[in-house]
Amino acid sequence: MTRQTIDSASGWRHLNKVRWLTLVLVFALLIILPFFHVYQTYVAAHAYDLLAPGERKLYDIIETLTAPFVDDPSRDLDVIKGNTWSGRLFGVKMSDPLAVAGQMAAGRNVYNPFLLTALFPVVATLIFGRFFCGWLCPANLLYELNTNLRILLGRFGVRTGRRCLDPKLKYIVLGVGLLICGISGSVLVAAVYPPAILGRELYYAVAQRGMGVGALFFVATVLFDLLVARRGFCRYLCPGGALYSLLGRFRVLRIQRNVVTCNDCTKCNSVCEFGLNPLRDDFGQECNNCTACIAVCPVDALGFRWRITDTPNQGPGHESPRYRRDHKDKRQVFGNANSKA
């Protein structure tokens, strides 16, 4: 392996830091945008004198922060609107594919303008795989922090849930959820989808100073991950995760192991929250390209490659003790055969 290739592979490990920054920014936007919406409502009402003291304070703070950047709050602050369920980004409307699927099931028809709002997320998933789950899902930030809590509790001898369920369960949840949408005529699947729940509940907390039952459901998913199965909801029950996994099956950007530099240290398997097996090239459609395995690899044996399928199992890493031992024995046998000849 050339030095240039090694340097290129080592650069991938920093993507995990970028991913964490992206998750923080998305979560921060979900908190900030409701404040902007409330401020826009106050501006449109032209009733500053009628606002309560707390509302006036909020008005003054946001006006001070935004005044250098906007001339018309009702227009300029609409550059980013909504949440990760459905929203608008610089004038482009985008929706979660599950939002579109749920709406079509509930309405029992196809509304083309709304269908097109899922075009960019679908195309991006076909290229990058289940990237929304790893890079943009606001719930993922909290779930990964919850994983760190699991590790901390483990150091103090507290046992956490380690059950393994069937990943196919989430596909059943997706199918049943869409069926219920069709029967009820309502997009009820949003009630059990963490990104939609967080966006909704954070808005309630800011605009209505309270939260709904969705907050309790989300806390239940966190406890499920902590007490029953590691990343249990995402791996086994999330309807959106199921849909993204189905689309991600056909992704063209995949993580690939360089068997020549791999030393079989198993760190990649240990850090994978979805229970995949990077050590033996088993990523599959569940991989969300989070790059955690790339970041922990001590020999930079993992990186991204353009492939439409995973690389078949390449066997032990060439720098592993097992591989060296086996090939040392083969060389000895081959050498003895040559000496006899």
Tokens 């000895």 label which residue?
332
Q: How far apart are CA 59 and CA 70, in angstroms?
A: 15
- pLDDT tens digits along 268-288: 999 999 999 999 999 999 999
88 strand-pairing partners: 81, 93
- Hey, what are 223's tokens? 């406890």
| Alpha carbon distances (Å) from 14 to 2, 19, 259, 296, 306 | 20, 9, 21, 10, 19
Q: Where are the domains of the chain?
A: 79-245, 252-326
CB-based burial label for 156 (10 Å; 0-12, 13-18, 19+):
exposed
Maximum C-alpha span of the chain = 103
Segments in the chain below pLDDT 70 = 1-10, 329-341
3-state secondary structure of 236: helix
For the entire predicted model, the pTM comes to 0.89
- Residue 146: count other Cβ atoms within 10 Å of its Cβ: 17
Give residue 9's pLDDT.
58
Q: How far apart are CA 276 and CA 149, in angstroms?
A: 21
Give residue 76's pLDDT.
83
CB 150 within 8 A of CB 275: no
Q: Hey, what CATH topology would domain 252-326 get?
A: Alpha-Beta Plaits (3.30.70)
Give residue 79's pLDDT.
85
N- to C-terminal Cα separation, the chain? 34
Give residue 13's pLDDT.
84
- Using the Cα atoms of residue 230, residue 231, residue 235 and residue 236 in order, give the sign of their dihedral: positive
